[in-house]
Structure 1
């Protein structure tokens, strides 16, 4: 028999299952058909839910894509805290490489790198990347606090300088991204912003 003190909503209940199914379906469609091929109807079909359930929670396919990708990246690409800037960058780079070289990661990176700049999709992509930069800027802030970087270091430029060669290797050259490469890239990036 339930009491008034019991929690009425079950953690991990129907709402969590719907969210998970919808996000999984969204990522599958993005990987297979790209951002231009993402439709609420296809996501609903794959997730086994009504389209209205998706519209009620996310309102647009762009909003759905951003939230699905943000949740995935937060799960797979946590912001490291190793105690040093170089250590944090190497750990971040390793996570990026592992994700980017997975079938889903490679497909999603190509989708967002190559998709047409339809205004809504471009806005969704910008929002996604801004959220990732905001999250990862913590490692730059901590490095400034530790005295490894000067005050006023441009967090976004430092992160772009570090991440761009990794994405280039994943998307363009398919070169290996090994520990030595990540260590050298982290060292070079750190030196460039302390010079």
Structure 2
């Protein structure tokens, strides 16, 4: 009986150590998402780059290659938040515009990303870059309220002497208080009441039910 020895199969290329891990833009998205979760859990003071890398399933060196400092990493994670709120809604009424502007902010503030943004904005130990970015993201809707005020004035709804930025900061400040200090959800019913209070302070006429 003749023993047949099968021909050996040439070895294939060695498996990459990072095979299966996110690459390129996917790395950036995964890391920044992990940063926001970490911020929501531990705040800026407790953020760990090692835990961020573990959450994102990437090497820690991949994180530092893109963001050499923890401050740069957090600032990058904050930049994308609230970008969609730069367009002011036009619902045809001042109350509708205010609610349409405040509702997505309240919705975001109730989620981990929103908590992360607020904590970074209020952190006393965050660097200047992080504080500047976070504060700019929190204050971004102020740009929209100028358009809302202009439309309301044209309809005779906006009272003379009312500062549009003060109006939106009243809304945003109340949402921050609700989420961080009261630790309560900014529900639709709660937001209805808040908008009505602000509306009574800025409206040129008595708000309709």
Fold match, TM over 0.5?
yes
CA contact (8 A) 1:161 1:189 kept: yes
**Aligned residue number for residue 98 of structure 2:** 89
| Structure 1 residues 95 and 112: CA distance shift in structure 2, 3 A | same
Two-structure CA RMSD over aligned residues (Å)? 3.4
CA contact (8 A) 1:133 1:156 kept: no
**Aligned residue number for residue 10 of structure 1:** none
Cα displacement (A) at 1:18: 0.8
Deviations 1:10-51 (A, max 9, x none): xxx932201111112212221222211223333223323333
Alignment of 1:87-166 (within 5 A): 87-102=96-111, 104-105=112-113, 107-108=115-116, 111-112=119-120, 115=123, 117-120=124-127, 123-134=129-140, 136-146=141-151, 147=153, 148-149=157-158, 154-166=163-175
Cα displacement (A) at 1:65: 1.5
Q: Does 1:188 align with 2:194?
A: no
Q: Structure 1 unaligned segments of length 5 or more: list them.
A: 1-12
Cα distance in structure 2, aligned partners of 1:16 and 1:92: 30
Cα displacement (A) at 1:151: 8.3
SS at match of 1:59: coil
- When Rg is computed on C-alpha atoms for both structures, the one with the higher figure is 2
Alignment of 1:35-50 (within 5 A): 35-50=44-59
Cα displacement (A) at 1:139: 2.5
| Structure 1 residues 169 and 81: CA distance shift in structure 2, 3 A | same
**Which structure has more helix as a fraction of its residues?**
1
How does the TM-score come out when normalised to structure 1?
0.69
Deviations 1:118-163 (A, max 9, x none): 251x6413321213423x1232121233125478864432221112
How does the TM-score come out when normalised to structure 2?
0.65
CA contact (8 A) 1:106 1:170 kept: no
Alignment size in residue pairs: 178
Cα displacement (A) at 1:91: 2.5
1:17 equivalent among 26, 31, 47: 26
**Aligned residue number for residue 171 of structure 1:** 180
SS at match of 1:14: coil
